[in-house]
A and B are shown apart, each in its own frame.
Chain A
Amino acid sequence: DQQVKQNSPSLSVQEGRISILNCDYTNSMFDYFLWYKKYPAEGPTFLISISSIKDKNEDGRFTVFLNKSAKHLSLHIVPSQPGDSAVYFCAASAGSGNQFYFGTGTSLTVIP
């Protein structure tokens, strides 16, 4: 049973525009969420995290929004750059340090 879902396998965005990647989860016990970025032939790299006590966390061009009632989180990238083209995974856990459940990823292509 997929507890974390990324329903869009791919997304294309023009350079300079906003990229919005979405993630839904089913387990209400999840309280810690992460986004990873993965380039081909490399392992995923940590991007940004958010705990359930917040509804927004910002780091430079990256902002993660959490809607607990909807069990939904999203990653906004503004402005999008060609170097942002990669696969993005969201992951969730019930408490930091516990096992993570990953979405299947969204492949983002930023068109120059």
Chain B
Amino acid sequence: GAVVSQHPSWVICKSGTSVKIECRSLDFQATTMFWYRQFPKQSLMLMATSNEGSKATYEQGVEKDKFLINHASLTLSTLTVTSAHPEDSSFYICSALQYDRYGYTFGSGTRLTVV
């Protein structure tokens, strides 16, 4: 079945540094990937839609310059949290869409803690 690998699964960083999270589709090509942020017991919040070879589409209220998304290939999208602050500490999840079936495959998430 379709697998999306997300790395790292957890990361602790100092305030002011940048962190890169990778999302890879292992056995299918993902033209479109989604990045979500999850708060405890709440809905996944869509941050941005990433399309291969073009600029990401950000949801309202998400800072483009803070959350940099790159989707340079059909199997890899990256989210870079720049100049991280403690309030950026959260759970980030990516998802990839397969067009041959109506299915979204999710990565296992990255827990970011900014200290």
Binding site for B on A (CB under 8 A): 1-2, 9-10, 36, 38, 42-46, 49, 87, 89, 91, 96-102, 104-105, 107
Could you list 18 A-B pairs, sorted by A, with CB under 8 Å? A2-B3, A9-B103, A36-B43, A36-B44, A43-B36, A43-B45, A44-B36, A44-B43, A46-B41, A46-B43, A89-B104, A89-B106, A91-B106, A97-B40, A100-B108, A102-B95, A104-B103, A104-B105
Q: How far is the CA of A44 from the CA of B36 in the complex (A)?
A: 9
Query: Measured between C-beta atoms, what is the minimum distance from A77 to chain B in Å?
Result: 18
Q: How far is the CA of A35 from the CA of B101 in the complex (A)?
A: 21
Query: Measured between C-beta atoms, what is the minimum distance from B1 to chain A in Å?
Result: 5
Q: What's the interface size class on B, roughly?
A: 20 to 34
Residues from chain B with a CB closer than 8 A to the CB of A107 are: 102
Binding site for A on B (CB under 8 A): 1-3, 9-10, 34, 36, 38, 40-46, 91, 93, 95, 101-106, 108-111
User: A99 near B91 (CB under 8 angstroms)?
Assistant: yes
Residues from chain A with a CB closer than 8 A to the CB of B42 are: 46
Q: How far is the CA of A98 from the CA of B40 in the complex (A)?
A: 10
Residues from chain A with a CB closer than 8 A to the CB of B38 are: 100
